[in-house]
Structure 1
Amino acid sequence: MSHVFFEFDLEPGVKSVADLNYVLRDGDKKTAFVMSAEVAKFVKDALIINDTIISFKNCCFAFEKGAEFVEFDRNGKSVRFSEPVPSWFVKPGVFARSDWLDNHELADLPAPDFIKAFNEKFPDLQERRKHADYLFDLQLRRIKLPPSEAPRPVGNTSGKSTKPKVTDLESFQLFEQFFARLKSAVMANEFPTLNVLTASEDVSKVPGSYRQAIRTAMKAVTHELPVNNKRLAAGNPALFCAPVREKIAEIESIGLEPYYQELSKAIARADGSYIADFSFHYSKPHR
């Protein structure tokens, strides 16, 4: 491993593709940087075209605070996964207190100079609070305000729908993981809940975009949404699993990769639609 890049909501050290190329020029160096959303998108888009990228050899990327990882071997061949968490990944707070300080030339400053440089770097109060929270583990979000200062809940006052919209997993490897979990559950006559499909005990900690992508994939494959607590309480998973097993066999006869490629295209065409209204039927692409 030579270079590691994290998609954290910290001030990025690698802000542009030009910055990325500059870092990659020195393959013998070991570095760790926060990358911007622009750079993260560039890497993901490159992976859609080819899963082997020589310029990324021996590099590792963590997207969406660790929701997804990509590792490149010495030949530039990539592996994309969401679990297990690799040993090279660190949490944003840990990173902020180590490499991030070095990358932004703040690590060796005396306290008065650090305070001045930090305030100048983040003139926006919200950005300053966020970075201070990471650096000093202030846990600002856990602090309870007095009733007079606490913001009043306003709910959905904009009139916009909060229903989840179709989202692509954007990775065959992630779709393969989802399919394996779904198959394992239904073959055992167990309800495929979001906990099962995301391999997470606490779904609230799973990034929203990943949850939406799992729901979209589930709706496409089974024409059903993941089983919720109400359906769990009602029981009888055998009735739910029997038709899903048939769908699984049908998809395996097609082949997971060609199926996912067509599903990905259908999701792109359905951009902006609601998952509840989404359906997908595989059609062999015309040559």
Structure 2
Amino acid sequence: MNVIRSEEQTAFVISADVVKFVNDALIVNTTITSFKNCRFAFNEGAEFVEFDGKGKSRRFTETPSWFITPNDFARGQWLINHELSDYGTKEFISAFIAKFPNVKERREHCDLLFDLQLDKSLPPPQQPAPARKAGNKNRITTKPKILDLGSQEIFNQFFERLEMAVNSNRFPTLQILTGHEDITKAPTPLKGAVRTWFKAITGELPPNNKRVEAGNVDLFCAPIREQLTQVKAAGLEPYYQALSQAIQEAGEQYIADFSFKLSQ
């Protein structure tokens, strides 16, 4: 945020945490005043998002004139950003090692600075196996695993949509819970989190088309209304914080097997 507030035009290589932060923010709102006049390049320059002077976002895949390749960036602004531009060779090496103790991260930065082309030194990929007929012949499970977006605000929006649906006797489908009428356009992490949160509150998965077509919306919504009342009595914020911690502790558990109850 200090970089964003800077009056000067500054370039930085962003970490995966920043990428997640920006993308999660865009799920909530496409206009973010805190990001006004900021530009982000994701996936090694494969996609871009920029915010105008009012914070309104625009996504596109064409390479804009403002994009700087990681290698060009590393040989210029990178040294200044990391306060390494005034070091001699010996001092630079010592400071560089101290700044990046993680070997993987150190290799990535060395690759940028010195154009080591480490990706080209890897062994060539194996030839793909012959195409087979579709089908889960290896019996590898496709069940989704639990997921949490780490955002109180997104959880509150999910809870509000769920409450509005059951109070009006409507099946709380994924379309309603994610706010995306075309569910194919909803971000996969959002769908995973919504399924996980719904399972934690209700003990069930969101109703699919077969469940909706079968009817019985009154029987489906009545117990959920009582469960939502209990969550509100506990408080949305403490409930979500406890749920988020439980999801982290559960690790790689499947959504269908996940359960959660707020301890009193």
TM-score range, shorter chain: 0.5 to 0.7
Task: Please tell me whether the aligned partners of residues 220 and 278 of structure 1 are also in contact (alpha carbons under 8 angstroms).
Answer: yes
Task: Please tell me whether the aligned partners of residues 62 and 68 of structure 1 are also in contact (alpha carbons under 8 angstroms).
Answer: no
Structure 1 CA distance, aligned partners of 2:69 and 2:256?
47
Of residues 214, 222, 229 in structure 1, which corresponds to 2:194?
A: 214
Instruction: Give, as a single letter, the amino acid of the residue that structure 2 aligns with 1:275.
Output: I
Of residues 15, 19, 23 in structure 2, which corresponds to 1:40?
A: 19
Instruction: Give, as a single letter, the amino acid of the residue that structure 1 aligns with 2:198.
Output: M
Over 3 Å counting, the alpha-carbon distance change for 1:153 and 1:99 in structure 2 is farther
Tell whether 2:72 aligns with 1:100.
no
Over 3 Å counting, the alpha-carbon distance change for 1:202 and 1:245 in structure 2 is same
Structure 1 CA distance, aligned partners of 2:200 and 2:16?
28
* 1:39 shift after superposition: 3.9
1:100 is paired with a residue of what secondary structure? coil
Structure 1 CA distance, aligned partners of 2:70 and 2:172?
44
* 1:88 shift after superposition: 2.8
Structure 1 CA distance, aligned partners of 2:247 and 2:19?
21
Structure 1 CA distance, aligned partners of 2:194 and 2:178?
8
* 1:235 shift after superposition: 1.2
TM-score scaled to structure 1, two decimals?
0.57
Of residues 27, 42, 52 in structure 1, which corresponds to 2:6?
A: 27
Deviations 1:242-285 (A, max 9, x none): 1111111111111100111111111112111111111111113x
Pairing 1:169-248 to 2, within 5 Å after superposition: 169-248=149-228
Tell whether 2:240 aligns with 1:272.
no
Identity across the alignment (%): 43
Structure 1 CA distance, aligned partners of 2:134 and 2:169?
42
Tell whether 2:262 aligns with 1:282.
yes
Instruction: Give, as a single letter, the amino acid of the residue that structure 1 aligns with 2:58.
Output: V
Deviations 1:54-108 (A, max 9, x none): xxxxxxx3349x445695759xxxxxxxxxxx953222415x33432688769xx
Task: Please tell me whether the aligned partners of residues 32 and 56 of structure 2 are also in contact (alpha carbons under 8 angstroms).
Answer: no
TM-score scaled to structure 2, two decimals?
0.62
Structure 2 CA distance, aligned partners of 1:174 and 1:267?
16
> Could you tell me which residue of structure 2 aligns to residue 138 of structure 1?
none
- Aligned-residue CA RMSD (Å): 3.6
Structure 1 CA distance, aligned partners of 2:187 and 2:243?
22
Task: Please tell me whether the aligned partners of residues 190 and 241 of structure 1 are also in contact (alpha carbons under 8 angstroms).
Answer: yes
Instruction: Give, as a single letter, the amino acid of the residue that structure 1 aligns with 2:64.
Output: R
